Amino acid sequence: MSRRWIAVSVGLAVVAVLGFVLVSAGGERVQGNVEIEVPEGASAVAIGTLLQDSNLIRFPRLFGLVARWRGTAGGLKAGRYVIPGDASWSQILDVLERGAVETVPFTIPEGYSVRQVAGVIAELTGTDPDSVVALVTDSLFVAEAAVPGPGIEGYLFPETYHVAEGLRSEDVARLLIRGYHGFWTAERRALLAASGRTEREIVTLASIVEKEARVAAEMPTIAGVYANRLRIGMLLQADPTVQFALGSPRSPLLFADIDSVADDPYNTYTHAGLPPGPIASPGAAALDAALQPADVPYLYFVARNDGSHEFTRTLREHNNARIRIRREAAGATQDAAPAADSSAGG
Q: Is 3 domain-assigned?
A: no
Q: Is 6 domain-assigned?
A: no
Host domain of residue 51 = 14-101
Average per-residue pLDDT for the chain? 86
114 and 96 inside one domain: no
Q: Is 218 domain-assigned?
A: yes
Mean local confidence (pLDDT), 184-212: 97
Q: Is 125 domain-assigned?
A: yes
| Final residue in a domain of this structure, among 75, 101, 127 | 101
Number of helices (H), then strands (E), belonging to the chain: the values are 15, 7
117 and 86 inside one domain: no
| Final residue in a domain of this structure, among 183, 214, 249 | 183
Q: What is the pLDDT of residue 83?
A: 79
Least confident window among 150-154, 255-259, 290-294 = 255-259
pLDDT in tens, 88-104: 888 888 878 876 666 78
Q: What is the pLDDT of residue 185?
A: 97
Q: What is the pLDDT of residue 5?
A: 44
Q: Is 189 domain-assigned?
A: no
CA dist list (Å): 126 to 101, 120, 166: 19, 10, 9
203 and 281 inside one domain: yes
CATH number, domain at 71?
A: 3.30.1490.480
CB 266 within 8 A of CB 278: no
CA dist list (Å): 162 to 102, 172, 201: 9, 10, 30
CB 275 within 8 A of CB 268: yes
Q: Is 91 domain-assigned?
A: yes
Q: Is 4 domain-assigned?
A: no
Q: How many CB atoms lie within 10 A of CB 278?
A: 31
94 and 111 inside one domain: no
213 and 331 inside one domain: yes
Beta bridge partners of 80: 37
238 and 311 inside one domain: yes
Q: Is 1 domain-assigned?
A: no
Q: What's the structural domain count of the chain?
A: 3
